[in-house]
C-alpha cells in the first residue's frame, strides 16, 4: 500500500496542462491533482468560458481554446488529454497526442486510446522519434482490488494462472457489417477496453479468441486462449439489470482461486490440499465431516471496504484507480522511468483484440 502525499507536500512537480474539461475531467481527473506531483499551469477547451470557470476552481494560471497556441506559449512537461470523440465517432487521442509530442510534451490520454491498432502504431512511432511518452488511462489496472489480485496470482502459493471468468455488461452489433463501422462500434470500443485491460494487466497477451453473439440483445461470450496457456471466458452481459453491479472476476490457479465482485469485494481461496486431506483422514473421510468451517491454515482471506472513516480509500478517485494512475504517470516521468502500466504496447494489444471482433463470430481468430 502506498503512502499518499498531498500536492503541496511535493518538492518536485511536473508542469502540466489539461486539454478537454468535460464531465469526466471535472468529476474524476482534476480532483486527483490534489494528490499528485503536478503543477497545473493551464487548461484548454474549445469552450473557453467553461475552461475559465474550471481554471478558477482548480488554480490553473491561464486558459486557452487552442492547444497549439497553449503549447507554444507555455512551458509544459506533460498534457492530460480528455477530449472524447470526433464527428466520425473516432477517439480524438491519436491526433492530439501526436501533435502534443511533436510540440514537445509527454502525454496522458483517456481511454479508448484509438479506433484502430494502426493509430496506436502511429503514436508509438512518434513517441520513439520525439522521445516523449504516452500513457493511456486504463484505470482498472490501478484499482487497489485489481492490484491485490495481481499480487495474489503472482504469489508462490497460487501456482500458474490456469483459467478465468470475467463479466462486464456491454453489447456488440450482431450484424457483421455494423461491426465495421466506427459509429456502430463506438460504445463497444468505449467499454471493451475495461475488461481487456484487466486481463492484459493480470494475465498477459492473448493468443486467440472465439466468440458468439446473442442476436436479440447483443450480449456475447468469448473464449480466450492466452499465450501463456491460460484459458477463460469474457462474458459481455448486455441486458443485465441496471440495478446490478457491473463486474465479476474469478481467476483460478493450481488448487487456488481469487474472486472479485463489483470491483471491491475480494476473496482469496488459498491452496489447502494438505490440510483438507489430513482433516478428512482424521475424521474418517467423505461423509463424516459435520462442519464446513475448515482449519485456519486454509481459511479464505476476505477484504471489504469500510465506509465510515474519512480515508482516501473511500473516495471514488482512489477506489477506481484514477488518482493512482495519475500519480504513477507523474512520478514515472519525474523519475525519468518508462511507463509500463497503461503503456502504448498494452494499448496496441488491446486494440488488436478489439479488431478481432470485426471478424465473423464462431470462428477461432488469432490475435
Binding residues (CB under 6 A) for ligand NAD: these are 19-25, 44-47, 67, 82-84, 92, 110-111, 137, 139, 190
* 40 bridge partner residues: 16
**Smallest separation, CB 269 to ligand NAD (Å):** 29
Distance of closest approach, residue 137 Cβ to ligand NAD, in angstroms: 6
Nearer to ligand NAD, 22 or 305 (CB): 22
Q: Using CA atoms in the order 23, 29, 32, 38, what is the torsion angle rounded to 10 degrees?
A: -130
CB of 253 to ligand NAD, least distance (A): 29
Q: How far is the CB of 194 from ligand NAD (least distance, A)?
A: 8
Which residue's Cβ lies closest to ligand NAD? 22
C-alpha cell at 158: 497460487
Q: Kindly give the interhelix angle for 117-130 and 93-102, rounded to the nearest 10 degrees.
A: 10
Q: Which is nearer to ligand NAD, 67 or 158 (CB)?
A: 67
Query: In this complex, which beta carbon is closest to ligand NAD, that of residue 79 or of residue 161?
Result: 79
- Asked whether the beta carbons of 30 and 54 are under 8 A apart, the reply is yes
Cβ atoms of 329 and 154 closer than 8 Å: no
Which strand (E) or helix (H) includes residue 152?
A: helix 144-153
* Nearest to 158, CA basis, from 74, 44, 283, 252: 252
Compare residues 44 and 327 and give the one whose CB is closer to ligand NAD.
Answer: 44
**CB-wise, 111 or 132, nearer to ligand NAD?**
111
The minimum distance between CB 312 and ligand NAD, in angstroms, equals 18
**Do 47 and 65 meet the contact criterion of CB atoms below 8 Å apart?**
yes
Q: Compute the least distance from the CB of residue 315 to ligand NAD, in Å.
A: 14
Q: From the CB of 12, what's the least distance to ligand NAD, in Å?
A: 27
- Are 264 and 197 in contact by the 8 Å Cβ rule? The answer is no
Written as one string, the DSSP assignment of 115-148 is: SSHHHHHHHHHHHHHHT--EEE--GGGG-HHHHH
Least distance (Å) between residue 283 CB and ligand NAD: 50
The three cell numbers of residue 138 are 486504463
Distant-in-sequence, close-in-space partners of 257: CB < 8 Å, separation ≥ 6: 250, 251, 269
Distances (CA, A) of 228 to 163, 202, 207, 364: 11, 12, 8, 17
Q: Which is closer to ligand NAD, CB of 84 or CB of 255?
A: 84
| Residue whose CB is less far from ligand NAD, 83 or 198 | 83
Of residues 232 and 342, the one with the C-beta less far from ligand NAD = 342
Amino acid at each position: 500500500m502506498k503512502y499518499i502525499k498531498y500536492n503541496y507536500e511535493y518538492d518536485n512537480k511536473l508542469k502540466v496542462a489539461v486539454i478537454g474539461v468535460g464531465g469526466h475531467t471535472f468529476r474524476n481527473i482534476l480532483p486527483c491533482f490534489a494528490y499528485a506531483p503536478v503543477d497545473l499551469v493551464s487548461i484548454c477547451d474549445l469552450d473557453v468560458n467553461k475552461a475559465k470557470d474550471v481554471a478558477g476552481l482548480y488554480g490553473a494560471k491561464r486558459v486557452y481554446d487552442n492547444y497549439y497556441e497553449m503549447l507554444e506559449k507555455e512551458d509544459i512537461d506533460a498534457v492530460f488529454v480528455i477530449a472524447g470523440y470526433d464527428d466520425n465517432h473516432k477517439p480524438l487521442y491519436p491526433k492530439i497526442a501526436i501533435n502534443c509530442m511533436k510540440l514537445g510534451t509527454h502525454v496522458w490520454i483517456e481511454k479508448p486510446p484509438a479506433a484502430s491498432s494502426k493509430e496506436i502504431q502511429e503514436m508509438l512511432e512518434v513517441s520513439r522519434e520525439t522521445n516523449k511518452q504516452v500513457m493511456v488511462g486504463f484505470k482498472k489496472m490501478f484499482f487497489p482490488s485489481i492490484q491485490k489480485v495481481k499480487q495474489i496470482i503472482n504469489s508462490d502459493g497460487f501456482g500458474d494462472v490456469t483459467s478465468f471468468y470475467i463479466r462486464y455488461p456491454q453489447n456488440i452489433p450482431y450484424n457483421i457489417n455494423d461491426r465495421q463501422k466506427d459509429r456502430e462500434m463506438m460504445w463497444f470500443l468505449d467499454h471493451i477496453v475495461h475488461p481487456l485491460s484487466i486481463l492484459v494487466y493480470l494475465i498477459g497477451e492473448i493468443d486467440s479468441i472465439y466468440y458468439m453473439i446473442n442476436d436479440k440483445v447483443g450480449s456475447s461470450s468469448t473464449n480466450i486462449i492466452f499465450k501463456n496457456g491460460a484459458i477463460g471466458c469474457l462474458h459481455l452481459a448486455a441486458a443485465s439489470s441496471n440495478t446490478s453491479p457491473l463486474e465479476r472476476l474469478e481467476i483460478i490457479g493450481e488448487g487456488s482461486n481469487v474472486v472479485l465482485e463489483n470491483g471491491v469485494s475480494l476473496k482469496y481461496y488459498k491452496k489447502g490440499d494438505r490440510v483438507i486431506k489430513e482433516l478428512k483422514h482424521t475424521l474418517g473421510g467423505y461423509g463424516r465431516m459435520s462442519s464446513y468451517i475448515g482449519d485456519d491454515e486454509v481459511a479464505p482471506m476476505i477484504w471489504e471496504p469500510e465506509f465510515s472513516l474519512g480515508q482516501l480509500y473511500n473516495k471514488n478517485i482512489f477506489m477506481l484507480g484514477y488518482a493512482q494512475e495519475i500519480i504513477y504517470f507523474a512520478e514515472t516521468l519525474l523519475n525519468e522511468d518508462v511507463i509500463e502500466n497503461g503503456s502504448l504496447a498494452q494499448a496496441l494489444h488491446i486494440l488488436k483484440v478489439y479488431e478481432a471482433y470485426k471478424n465473423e463470430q464462431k470462428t477461432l481468430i488469432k490475435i
